[in-house]
Copies of this chain bind each other. A is one copy, B any other.
Amino acid sequence: MYTTSANVAERQAAPPSLAISTVIFALRPSEASGRPTLWLPLVRRIREPFKGLWALPGGPLTHSESLQDAASRNLRETTGLAPSYLEQLYAFGGLHRSPTQRVVSIVYWALVQPTEAALADESENVRWFRADKLGELAFDHNAIVDYALWRLRNKLAYGSIAYHLLGEYFTLAQVREVYEAVLDTRLDPANFRRQIKATPEIEETGEYLQGGKHRPPRLYRFTGRPGLDPDNRSTP
């Protein structure tokens, strides 16, 4: 897709090319504290431009795929996973995103549940990174991740998005950990518990978390319909 041999005149004659990229968030334990933190998978570039730097998974749009199908394929090929949530984020089309050719990237963002994320493929050129410790990425991908994080934090405030980062059953402490990981802050457990218990879409299951504890915490379930998020109409 990127050619270094083309001269300026050739590049300006070619139409802007179209790429699909995907920002994939999942909760994984912090290496230091073991607490859930926000991670995303990146792919090492093996070609110029930005050879050796890490970049968002993606590639050119093929003829036989819709935008969303191309995003799903990126995600599957990079991580071996299917997302619990996939939505178009934004089309990035600044003039100087790539030094070699005008590229317009239509970016999707995805959320993956932690049990799935734990199974994700890693290799020399595909690795998960903490969202707050990415270093310098290829192209404008730091700015894209920054925007995706902003969208995630924003949606957390008014939707059901947190439950896409959890399994089907969860404790109230696990919901709080999602909010703490995404907002990068600590929340008061008692206040948070009271607020979440007041949410009509959160239902007690009658089950308890299995484990060695003396008094195991109760498991809850999200009964809302994610399609009812204000900014998440099914098919535009």
Which A residues are closer than 8 A to B by beta carbons?
A: 12, 15-18, 60-61, 63-67, 88, 90-95, 102, 104, 106, 143-144, 147, 150, 154, 157-158, 230-231, 233, 236
What secondary structure prevails in chain A residues at the interface with B? Answer: mixed
Chain B's closest residue to A17 (CB) is B15
Residues of chain B contacted by A106 (CB below 8 angstroms): 91, 93, 104, 106
Q: List 14 A-B contacts (CB under 8 A).
A: A12-B63, A15-B17, A15-B18, A16-B63, A66-B93, A67-B91, A67-B104, A93-B106, A143-B236, A144-B236, A150-B233, A154-B230, A158-B230, A231-B231
Say how far A160's CB is from chain B's closest CB, in angstroms.
16
Residues of chain B contacted by A104 (CB below 8 angstroms): 18, 61, 67, 106
Complex Cα distance, B104 from A127, in Å, reads: 31
How many chain copies does the complex carry? 2
- Taking A88-B90, A90-B236, A91-B88 as contacts, is the C-beta distance between A102 and B143 under 8 angstroms? no
Residues of chain B contacted by A143 (CB below 8 angstroms): 236
Chain B's closest residue to A90 (CB) is B236
Max chain B Cβ within 10 angstroms of own Cβ: one of A93, A147, A150, A230: A93
Complex Cα distance, B90 from A106, in Å, reads: 10
Max chain B Cβ within 10 angstroms of own Cβ: one of A64, A147, A236: A236
Is the CB–CB distance between A16 and B61 below 8 Å?
yes
Is the CB–CB distance between B67 and A102 below 8 Å?
no
- Taking A16-B18, A158-B230, A236-B147 as contacts, is the C-beta distance between A67 and B93 under 8 angstroms? yes
Residues of chain B contacted by A150 (CB below 8 angstroms): 233
